[in-house]
Amino acid sequence: MHKKTKKCRKLKFTFINSFRISTAIITLLNIIFLIMFYIKGITPLVIFNICVIILFLYFSVFYINKNIVLATIITFIECSIQTLFYVYFIGWGNGFYVYPLCLIPIIYFVTINILKKEKYGHILVILTFVIYQIAKIFSQGRMAQYEHMVMPINDILYMFNTISGSSIYAFLMYAFLSEMRDTQEALEEKNKALKDMANIDLLTGISNRRCMNDKIKEYVDKFKIDKKSFCIAICDIDNFKSINDTYGHDCGDMVLKMISQILMEESKKRDIEVCRWGGEEFLILIRDTIIGAERVCQKILDETRKQGIKYNNNYIKVTMTMGVAELNLKNDNIDEILKKADVNLYKGKTTTKNCVIID
């Protein structure tokens, strides 16, 4: 869990870092524009760009990591004012209006992921387009004060601004979508972990009764299609209460874990599903006929007999009794099969124990 939290933090920092990179690029662009306007002698835009550069340098250092909401608002206001300033002083045809559009990914990231207020994102984006349209309408039918000074390089400026703006937009959009994808993957991982916790027995690490009920349903649904028999074996650890009473519950837990380990190892070798059914009982789903199921159960019993546990200098031999029943065309009622397996288990427990009882 700690690793996943660390990963999420890293992903969030990655998007904020992309914002910082974009801010650095915009600052560099403003330095280029400052030099250009200085050479052209457009004093209002020289002063404006000096202020913008100082502003960006200041909040890129102090605000983006600490308060990305404030940083976004400042950037939004600056880009909006910049659009209106440039259109007013040098006209529409040079493409400076594209930069506010670059903020759309940042606006949605902040409003969705941080503020949790998606409607604010919609409002700001609509406001961006409104400013865009106002600037466009304002520029029509008039010659800007300094438009004649940049007219010779208007096409170059337009190309430069559209390429720069599109690149920044694409970069931020990629960062935004990557963040959303990684957030979704992290959420899916957490949901999977929660599902696993709900389906796994915490002591033994194998499936629990809830999970096995779902698997039994899957087996029954498949049987209705392919008509292939399968078996259910209910297993009970012999003398488990005596082990608990004699050696304590810690020893009993060790026995449960040992049996679970044997069942898990067998499930890797054969087409079976295993679970802790409850207490000292386990259930095995075997995709085979009763004859094949008996062989599987005997092998599990043989492996159990070979093993034992050492506890406080005592060697404790562990055995199990199994009751097996088959679901087939003659008897396709799963509740009856479970009862029959339980009845067979009871027969084994009340006779010899350490055995497999079948129909």
Whether the model clears a pTM of 0.75, i.e. scores above it, the answer is no
In the chain, the number of structural domains is 2
Q: Tens digit of pLDDT for each residue in 76-121?
A: 888 888 888 899 999 998 988 888 888 788 788 778 777 788 888 8
- 331 shares a domain with 238: yes
Answer yes or no: is pLDDT of 327 > 60: yes
- 162 shares a domain with 106: yes
Q: Give the pLDDT confidence score for residue 226 in this predicted structure.
A: 95
- 312 shares a domain with 339: yes
CATH of the domain at 287: 3.30.70.270
Answer yes or no: is pLDDT of 1 > 70: no
- 235 shares a domain with 163: no
91 backbone φψ class: left, alpha, beta (φ>0; ψ -120 to 50): left
Residue 204, domain member (yes or no): no
Task: Provide long-range contacts, Cβ within 8 A and 24+ apart, for 212-220.
Answer: 212/273, 212/275, 212/277, 212/283, 212/285, 215/273, 215/275, 215/285, 216/285, 216/334, 219/285, 219/287, 219/327, 220/327, 220/334
Q: Tens digit of pLDDT for each residue in 167-208?
A: 988 888 888 788 778 888 888 998 888 888 889 999 999 999
